Amino acid sequence: MGEILSPAKINLFLHVTGKRPDGYHELYSLMAPIDLCDYISMEFQGRGIRVVCGHPRVPEDKTNLVCRAASLFAAACKARGLPRPYEGVEIRLQKNIPVGGGLGGGSSNAAMVLLALNEKAGNPLSPAALNELGAGLGADVPFFLGNGPAYVSGIGEQLRPCRELPEYWLVLCSPGVAASTVKVFKKLEFGLTFKPDYIMNTGSNLLPIGQELNGREELHNDLEDPACRLYPEIGSTKNEMALLLKRNVYMSGSGSSLFALYSDRGQAEDGFDRLSEAWAGGKQQVFLSRIGQNRR
């Protein structure tokens, strides 16, 4: 099986809309894939599931989401009386997406493994069945099983395509700290943050879709305040980034990654160069990326 691209995502806005009795938070977000990718390769050999990754913060045991995805897929096939899809598989991950950066790298990896295994087995599981498996792995996995920008609601399992979103460029920064999604949600003062009068029916009131961006758009993320209180580096990097780029900067997901949006590639390249020069030798990582409609 050839090399598999596993894209990152950004949240163009994120509202926490409720909290369920089981402790999970419901949200409403506009999510979009970007062309910053991890790379996955798979070899079907031996017995069992093996994960190989050289990143110090990525586990190579059964707690890794790709290992869980492969196990769930095999169990789902068995439960349906389907032939065993494989005896053993070695999954190799090359991580380029910052870990703990709110960019969905682990969820993307799990989704791409589910899709690849299903294709390898002759597509025995329907998209709905794969989505059910994905939702059991993580809130972002169903998004990555889709194929483009989408409005996401519920706990991540309800998707509505956003076909009108244009191709934006972005300057993306990892501030050098990994944010814990669990800790950020625990820090969320839900009673204060929840505002039922949010206007959340479309993205057009937050992004001037169809118009050139001027860098002064207001994109809201309910998780930014708790993330910055837990990890002050996020807030300080955001402020410095906004001053250097002279435009608004936003946080993706539960943090810690930050981004600025551009309609023009040349302006984005200038911004990337400016940050790269200012932070040369520092702990920040800077990426030039773009939003696209199709990811596979």
What's the token pair of residue 213? 């961006």
Active site residue 273: no
Q: Kindly name the residue from 9, 38, 222, 238 that is annotated as catalytic.
A: 9
3-state secondary structure 75-123: HHHHHCCCCCCCCEEEEEEECCCCCCCCCCHHHHHHHHHHHHHHHHCCC
Separation of alpha carbons 17 and 155, rounded Å: 10
3-state secondary structure 21-77: CCCCEEEEEEEEEEEEEEEEEEECCCCEEEEEECCCCCCCCCCCHHHHHHHHHHHHH
266 in Cβ contact with 221 (< 8 Å)? no
Active site residue 95: no
CA end-to-end span of the chain, whole Å?
Answer: 15
Q: Please list, in sequence order, all residues whose beta carbon lies within 8 angstroms of the beta carbon of residue 283, skipping any fewer than 6 positions away.
A: 175, 176
Q: Report the amino acid identity of residue 44.
A: F
Q: Kindly name the residue from 38, 61, 95, 140 that is annotated as catalytic.
A: 140
Of 201, 128, 136, 175, which Cα lies nearest the Cα of 275? 175
Separation of alpha carbons 141 and 145, rounded Å: 6
Cβ neighbourhood burial of 296 (10 Å; 0-12, 13-18, 19+): exposed
Separation of alpha carbons 278 and 269, rounded Å: 14
Separation of alpha carbons 84 and 6, rounded Å: 25
Backbone φ, ψ for residue 166 (5° rounding): -75, 175
Active site positions, annotated: 9, 140
